[in-house]
Each structure stands twice: as C-alpha cells, then as structure tokens.
Amino acid sequence: MTTAQQLNTQFGIKDQLSFREDASGLIVADIHNAQATASLCLQGAHLMTWQPKSQAVPVVWLSRDAKLAQGKSIRGGAPVCWPWFGAHATEASFPGHGYARTVPWRVIASGTEPNGATRLTLRLEESDKTRAQWPHASQLDLTVTIGEMLRMELTTENTGTTDFVIGEALHTYLHISDIGAVRVTGLDGCEYWDKVGGSVLKEQAGAISFASETDRVYINTTATCVIEDDKLKRRIHITKSGSLSTVVWTPWIEKANKMGDMGQSDGWREMVCVESVNAIENVVTVAAGTAHSLVVEYHAELM
Ligand code: BG6
C-alpha cells in the first residue's frame, strides 16, 4: 500500500492538499483551500466532509459516531454506490449498494483549477474479491473538486468487449438544522417508488417535507433539487447530469436507533440524503468500449 508520505510527495499540494494515516490505518486526504475545507477517505473514495468558507456549518453531514474501519462503509459523507444500487438483484450475500464504498481506491491525479478549487481523482482497485462479484472489464474513477462548489464526477469505462449494466449512486448526506424544518423541492410531478411499506409507484405533489421514515426512488428525473432550510436560513442546490433517479431518504428514529452509528442525541435529525442515482428502470447499459459519467454539483446559499 502506498503510504501517506509517498502520497504527499506525489500528489500533495502545498497549503491545499495533504494525506495522513488515520488510527484505523486508512488514509485520509485533507483539503484546505481559500474556498473550503474537506476530507476524503481513500477507502471507498469516500468524501467525508465539505464546508465552504461562506458557511458557518458543514454542508455535507458526517455522523458524530462515524467510524473508519477497514472494509466498512462510513456513516455520512458521500458514499459511492456501485456497480449496483440497493440489494444485489440475485445474490443476497453480496453487499447492499455494491462494493465500491468499502474497497481501496488509489489516487491517480491531483491539481488546482483556474478558480482555485482543488481537484483529486481516485481509481477503484480491482481484486479477486471484486471480480468475483462483478466479472466485467471496467475502470471506475471518481474526481472530486473542492471549492465554494463541490463537484463529483463518477466515470465508468467499459474496457471489455461486451456491454454491461450498472446501478449507481452518489449517496450524499446533507447537513440540515432539523429534519422537521426542511423541504426538498424540484421533484413535483415526478413518479417515485415508495420503499416504505412495500414498493408502490406514486406521484409527488409539491415539495417534500418529512414527518416519518422516507425512502423514495424518484425515477426519470434530471431535475435540480433544492433543500430549503428555514432554521439555518440556507438552500443547498443539487444539480446533476448522467443520472435519471433521485433518492430521498431519512431513516427516522426507529431505523436510526437500529443502525447504531447515526449519532447520539438524535443525530439523524440533522441529515437528509438527496442522492443522485441510476436505479430500477434507470440502470445504465455501458456499451463495450464506451464510458458513462454521473456528475453532481452542490452549492449552498444563505437566504
Ligand atoms: C438509501 C436506501 O439509499 O440508503 C435506503 O434507499 C437505505 O433503503 C439507505 O436504508 C442506507 O443504506 P446503508 O446501506 O448505507 O445503511
């Protein structure tokens, strides 16, 4: 494994990007630039935090009980779900939301954008274990650009000679004042699979507000979503391309307690997931020799 010191030599950027080894042995990239701070765990290419300088509180939520551990997903941040979303279609023993979020990735590039934002690109490391679950010739890269805006680009390349199908998500947890005080707009009129109490197809009317567990897969939508937070007096805009599904999820108290890592004293109330996804009827066929990218941009504005 490449050490933090080697990564600092090869990819570190003075006063912007550095790497360190966490107590778990996992390597974390820390970004501090004139526009924002962020951190990303190389395992899973998992962005853990992002806070633009204009914001008094983080925009990306990380559970207070989040633990870094080899082979385990981190609660919060922006998990990369790939090459399937949710449960595997046929193999119950394969991990939910795919394996990308729990395997090592390696850094392949870093740089500074003309506007001063910091860019970091990682590539998933294949192994016998990943090939046993996904026997397709492919390359998966994630480029994260940290500035006043957060941009994430997940690119799947089919390097083989036969087409394959993927499900995927940037499963981002966003920091809010309180789940009872926010609305998500942008999905009015959209159809969604309501995963609470069986999968039923419904149609969204108006903005989404929350009073109980919510787990919905909106389909056939390219819409920008906005989280309107009256208490924090801010809006978080989520703009995407290469994604036709949007998942809106809050576990509510019972599920959150069962999960055990959502943060003491109602930590779950301070997050909502608005995920940019390709799932169910929106899974993507990547033809042999082609590539597909899912791109999401986040920015926060004060009202
Ligand atoms: C959401 C799913 O995307 O992720 C939910 O729609 C799921 O059903 C949630 O509970 C969290 O998943 P996990 O595997 O990170 O606990």
Q: Is the dihedral of CA 243, 249, 255, 258 positive or negative?
A: positive
Q: How many domains does the chain have?
A: 1
Q: Which atom of ligand 1 is nearest to the CA of 255?
A: 10
Beta-carbon-side half-sphere exposure of residue 59 (alpha carbons within 13 Å): 30
Residue ranges lining ligand 1, Cβ < 6 Å: 73, 96-97, 171, 195, 215, 247, 249, 275
Catalytic residues: 171, 275
Atom 1 (ligand 1): residue with closest C-alpha? 249
Is the pTM above the cut of 0.85? Answer: yes
| CATH code of residue 139 | 2.70.98.10
Tell me what percent of the residues of the chain surpass a pLDDT of 70: 100
Provide the pLDDT for residue 264: 81
Provide the pLDDT for residue 273: 98
Domain that holds residue 221: 4-302
Q: How far is the CA of 29 from the centre of ligand 1 (A)?
A: 25
**Residue 265 pLDDT exceeds 90:** no
**Residue 37 pLDDT exceeds 90:** yes
* 45's tokens: 């290419």
Residues 187-209, mean pLDDT to the nearest whole number: 96
271 within 8 A of 74, measured Cβ to Cβ: no
- Please name which of 269, 214, 271, 270 lies closest in space to residue 247, comparing C-alpha atoms: 214
Condensed to tens digits (0 to 9), the pLDDT of residues 146-193 reads 999 999 999 999 999 999 999 999 999 999 999 999 999 999 999 999
195 within 8 A of 215, measured Cβ to Cβ: yes
List Cβ neighbours of 239 (8 Å cut-off, separation of 6 or more): 224, 296, 297, 298
175 within 8 A of 58, measured Cβ to Cβ: yes
Q: How far is the CA of 62 from the centre of ligand 1 (A)?
A: 15
Provide the pLDDT for residue 197: 82
